[in-house]
Structure 1
Amino acid sequence: MSPYHHENPPLPRTAARDVRLLPKAHLHLHFTGSMRPTTLLELADKHGVHLPEALSGGEPPKLRATDERGWFRFQRLYDIARSCLRTAEDIQRLVREAAQEDARDGSGWLEIQVDPTSYAPRLGGLVPTMEIILDAVDAASRETGVGMRVLVAANRVKHPLDARTLARLAVRYADRGVIGFGLSNDERRGFARDFDRAFAIARAGGLIAAPHGGELSGPGSVRDCLDDLHADRVGHGVRAAEDPRLLERLAERGVACEVCPASNVALGVYEKAEDVPLRTLFDAGVPVALGADDPLLFGSRLADQYALVRSVLGFSDAELAELARQSVRASQAPEDVRKEMLSGIDDWLAAE
């Protein structure tokens, strides 16, 4: 049965240890994409938004974004879902429920990614939007116990000047919970170097650089993230597996790839889960942080990624524990939170 049918789907139990009890950090989760399908239906009804069958039919939509038409369809569905977030209360609900889902999945730390320009027209502008989002993050973190921070992401298909505006906004809120700056949308459009000034602004303000790369485009996209944007982490990055020298570089520099297996398959980057080259990255010593990307559209959340990696890619529990450690080390969690989570990972692995 699809995860769309209930809020807390059973995971395959191919080993004694429950992956939901494994402490982990979640570093690749998009804002609107974190929404529960039932919440989308309720918000659409509340605001009078007509949802296409792909979003209202009770199953994850069939997606394949390896061509422009497929990516356009994916982006259109995402935009329709985003249009249902119209009030501060809607934002608060989305963030609270995202934290609740992560808490159920064993995440002790969540860095949620958002482009505030997408919500600003309905929320009174960029500054009020950031205030609403950060207040919601603070409240959700207190309620659920999941540490939460925000990564502000620019849109690759918009003008680089817009990205600079967002970078300045992100730096303005660095003391309120913004920890990084990203670059999302179709990496086949535009060049990473067009956004180098925005990332320089973010770095000067103390934020990490975490652009998307190496998903729909090949290893050259990852190299561009490193060379032009000085990436500390790379969103996805799986296509780096096609270039052994690039793998060595990522491993030597300790640049983590935020790998999202379910979305790689859903978007047609790989035909089936067995083809996702996580093992190649892992064995090369590249730090990996598993992420759910957009559960609303891909139908699976964080613990499901660990379950998939165990059952399909053959990772042992010791290797799952190491993936969890890598997610914690790649995060911006405070040192005391890191120590607690790393200790919990050891306890999970020691349990019979």
Structure 2
Amino acid sequence: MEARTVPARPTHEGSVARGAARPDTALLPKAHLHLHFTGSMRHSTLVELARLRGVHLPDALVEDWPPRLHATDERGWFRFQRLYDIARSVLQTPDDLRRLLRETAEDEAAEGSGWLEIQVDPSGYAARFGGLTPTVELVLDAAREASAATGVGIGLVIAANRTRHPLDAKTLARLAVGYAGRGVVGFGLSNDERRGRAYDFEGAFRIARRGGLLSDPHGGELLGPASVRECLETLGADRIGHGVRAVEDPRLLEAIANRGVTLEVCPASNVGLGVAPTAADVPVRALRDAGVPIALGADDPLLFGSRLARQYDLVRTEHGFTDAELADLARQSINGSAAPGDVRARLLAGIDAWLAG
């Protein structure tokens, strides 16, 4: 990839002088820990597959893309989920899933991501691909192919839907454990946190943790600190998807920092869903100052219009992070991952080289 330089903005102590060139964040080695399967699809692929499969796309996914979203009320979340479901409906053959993962891995490589943990709820595809187990095996096989083609390591986080019954989550947890060490690295919990308390899914996460999987639930996005605390205390979270509302409770922040739980912070997504008015209002600096490990994520580029490097650019421009601080964020993403030791060592060495210029 040809290197580009980014104009500097003088902010915090240690930043470069006004007008000096700063290194490209797409060349900074990093891990991507918060990316959803359907939401990772390229917009061009969505449009092409919709045409081939005869799926009508609303204007929000064509002429008006990326859509204007605001999910802090139930109507807004329903619209977000409807667009997501429409996008998922274009994935109708095994080759469609293989293409999605191959293109996603290509995009990750272009963004500097050497390790990806992609989250999927196989229940959303099971009816089309022969059941839960065949769906997981298809996704894992596609991930292996994509990794071999691009050099990007890929782990799978199987996620339960918090709007469904907790018994469904236990089924998925047992399924995930069956593939621990064979491509599945974690167990998650996603969808609207206002419609299913983390507490209700403790049994599923107990199964996953006993099976050696990372605990990686969503929390603290649409609800406040209590949602984050349930993920931390009840689900034994190793990482928490989003978690930004934890800044409203200093004692909770201290607990997260002391336990070394990584928060997967997604600036563009937080703005897109109305969690924060602007990228400058996403509390990245406050979380870092509290000692909380952070892994920046893109969440659903298909709906929010930006991928991983853009999140680092936003933190640089809107929060005044120096290059050394950006490098530290990249290290935290790797340290919070399930990447094998050799991958970690390679990426960490690459971060040092990026910082050295």
- Could you state the TM-score of these two structures normalised by the residue count of structure 2? 0.94
Moved more, 54-63 or 214-223: 54-63
- Partner of residue 119, structure 1: 125
Alpha-carbon offset, residue 12 of structure 1: 5.3
CA RMSD in angstroms comes to 1.2
Task: Choose from 137, 143, 148 the match for 1:137.
Answer: 143
- Partner of residue 63, structure 1: 69
Question: Do the aligned partners of 1:26 and 1:291 also contact (CA within 8 Å) in 2?
Answer: yes
Question: Do the aligned partners of 1:106 and 1:303 also contact (CA within 8 Å) in 2?
Answer: yes
- List aligned pairs for 1:266-281, cutoff 5 A: 266-281=272-287
- List aligned pairs for 1:294-313, cutoff 5 A: 294-313=300-319
Letter in 1 for 2:126: A
The DSSP-based 3-state class of the residue aligned with 2:101 is helix
Letter in 2 for 1:242: E
CA distance in structure 1 between the partners assigned to 2:65 and 2:153 by the alignment: 30
Question: Do the aligned partners of 2:59 and 2:65 also contact (CA within 8 Å) in 1?
Answer: no
CA distance in structure 2 between the partners assigned to 1:11 and 1:294 by the alignment: 26
Letter in 1 for 2:42: R
Q: 1:265 to 1:62 in 2, by over 3 A?
A: same
CA distance in structure 2 between the partners assigned to 1:218 and 1:307 by the alignment: 26
Alpha-carbon offset, residue 132 of structure 1: 0.7
- Partner of residue 5, structure 1: none
- Partner of residue 48, structure 2: 42
Moved more, 288-297 or 173-182: 173-182
Alpha-carbon offset, residue 193 of structure 1: 1.0
Tell me which stretches of 4 or more aligned residues in structure 1 moved more than 3 Å.
Answer: 10-15
CA distance in structure 2 between the partners assigned to 1:146 and 1:304 by the alignment: 19
Letter in 1 for 2:312: Y
Aligned length: 343
Letter in 2 for 1:216: L
Identity fraction in percent: 68
Letter in 2 for 1:103: A
**1:98-141 C-alpha deviation (Å, 9 max, x unpaired):** 10000000000000000001011111111111111000000000
CA distance in structure 2 between the partners assigned to 1:293 and 1:54 by the alignment: 18
CA distance in structure 2 between the partners assigned to 1:187 and 1:59 by the alignment: 26
Letter in 2 for 1:96: R
Alpha-carbon offset, residue 56 of structure 1: 1.3
CA distance in structure 2 between the partners assigned to 1:256 and 1:178 by the alignment: 19
The DSSP-based 3-state class of the residue aligned with 2:118 is strand
| 1:84 counterpart = 2:90 | yes
Task: Choose from 175, 178, 183 the match for 1:177.
Answer: 183
Letter in 2 for 1:194: D
**1:180-220 C-alpha deviation (Å, 9 max, x unpaired):** 00000001112111100000111111101000000000011
The DSSP-based 3-state class of the residue aligned with 1:153 is strand
Letter in 2 for 1:68: E
| 1:347 counterpart = 2:353 | yes
Alpha-carbon offset, residue 58 of structure 1: 5.3
- Partner of residue 164, structure 2: 158
Task: Choose from 209, 221, 226 the match for 1:220.
Answer: 226
Letter in 2 for 1:333: A
- Partner of residue 100, structure 2: 94
Alpha-carbon offset, residue 16 of structure 1: 2.0
CA distance in structure 2 between the partners assigned to 1:46 and 1:69 by the alignment: 30
- Partner of residue 323, structure 2: 317
CA distance in structure 1 between the partners assigned to 2:211 and 2:65 by the alignment: 42
- Partner of residue 78, structure 2: 72
Unpaired runs of at least 5, structure 2: 9-20
- Partner of residue 3, structure 1: none
CA distance in structure 2 between the partners assigned to 1:198 and 1:13 by the alignment: 47
Task: Choose from 271, 293, 308 the match for 1:265.
Answer: 271
